[in-house]
Amino acid sequence: MSFIARSTSALHRARRCVSACVLEPLRSGAGAWRRMKRPSKRPGASRASGSIGPDKLTVIVTLAFVATTLGVFVVDLHSRYHEAIAAAKTSALSYAQILAEHTARTLEGVDHILQQASAIRRDAKAGRHSSQQRLNEALRLLQHGSPVLLAVGWTDANGDLEAHTYVGDPPRRNIADLSHFKAQRDAVRDQLFVAPPFRSVASGEWVSAASRRLANDDGSFAGVLTAVIKQSYFRNIFRAVQLGPNDYVTLATTDGWVIAREPFVDELIGRSFAGGPIYSRDLVTADSGVIENASAPAPIGSPRSRSSPVIRSSRS
């Protein structure tokens, strides 16, 4: 399963470039030009045709100075703008790579726990657990070893839970309608699958789930190993980056499903943005990449630099 960790950095300071040192000379030059065009009121005042008076010379010098200053300002503005974009790219890419690496290690840990749960299931089939209570306690030891997990368990081929880490009855006794069960049921081989977020029946909060396929001796589908993942865990990690007022981090599958976002926006979680500019084919198949586009929330659509490293969890 592939994921995208994305961070953005707004470049507003590249747009705040209205300078008094340019505006004031422009105003003074315009005033001098108006004075020059105004007819002289001095009696008998006249100049030889083609001569340049002091006022006209002053205007020419002033306009030349304004044009030179404006040219230097535009060149400097252009340089600062591109320097700001380059700095934003570097900063965003650095943050995103760190978060992507942490997310990859987290998912590898979840996958390892599922494989350990598979070993517990084999022991249970062999009669090495004396009761259902001891079996569930063995699974709880696995769950407590990972801060990202809410529950661990497995089902039969119909989606009915056979073992779990819940204290008392599970919120759902059957998960056959959930995407992480359907994906493994329809798969031809066992590999880690991480589902788009869904609402927890118990708490109403957003959660996700990782699963692996269980098979009978003949290779037929026998059920799924499943681990419920806290969506809030990733938000807390992203928040630790101390994002700026115009920054955000999103964790999403490469087919566009948003797993987590910081700052949190409830209506964005569990939605697919497949087909958007960030999910271009070239980017999601690359190890990393940067996309620049105009961001609507900014007052004038100022460009933002988006850094999107693709991370892949381990597969067996």
Q: What is the DSSP string of 42-107?
A: STT----TT---HHHHHHHHHHHHHHHHHHHHHHHHHHHHHHHHHHHHHHHHHHHHHHHHHHHHHH
C-alpha distance from residue 189 to each of 161, 162, 165 (Å):
21, 22, 26
Q: Give the CATH number of domain 104-231; options: 3.90.1150.10, 3.40.50.1220, 3.30.450.20, 3.20.20.70.
A: 3.30.450.20
Q: Spell out the per-residue pLDDT of the chain, length 316, in tens.
A: 444 444 444 444 444 444 444 445 555 555 655 555 555 555 544 444 455 566 677 767 777 777 888 887 788 777 777 777 777 667 667 777 788 888 889 999 999 999 999 999 999 999 898 899 999 999 999 999 899 999 999 999 999 999 999 988 999 999 999 999 999 999 988 999 999 999 998 888 999 999 999 999 999 999 999 999 998 898 888 888 777 777 788 888 777 888 888 888 888 888 887 777 666 666 666 665 556 655 544 333 334 444 444 444 333 3
Q: What are the boundaries of each domain within the chain? A: 104-231
Tokens of 151: 């529950």
- In DSSP notation, 241-297 reads T---TT--EEEEETTSBEEEEES--GGGTT-B-TTSGGG-HHHHTSS--EEEEE-TT
Helix (H) or strand (E) holding 124: helix 54-125
Identify whether the C-beta of residue 237 lies closer than 8 Å to the C-beta of residue 217: no
How many other CB atoms are there within 10 angstroms of residue 294's CB atom? Answer: 10
Instruction: Work out whether strand 258-262 and strand 249-253 pair parallel, antiparallel, or are unpaired.
Output: antiparallel
pTM tops 0.75, yes or no: no
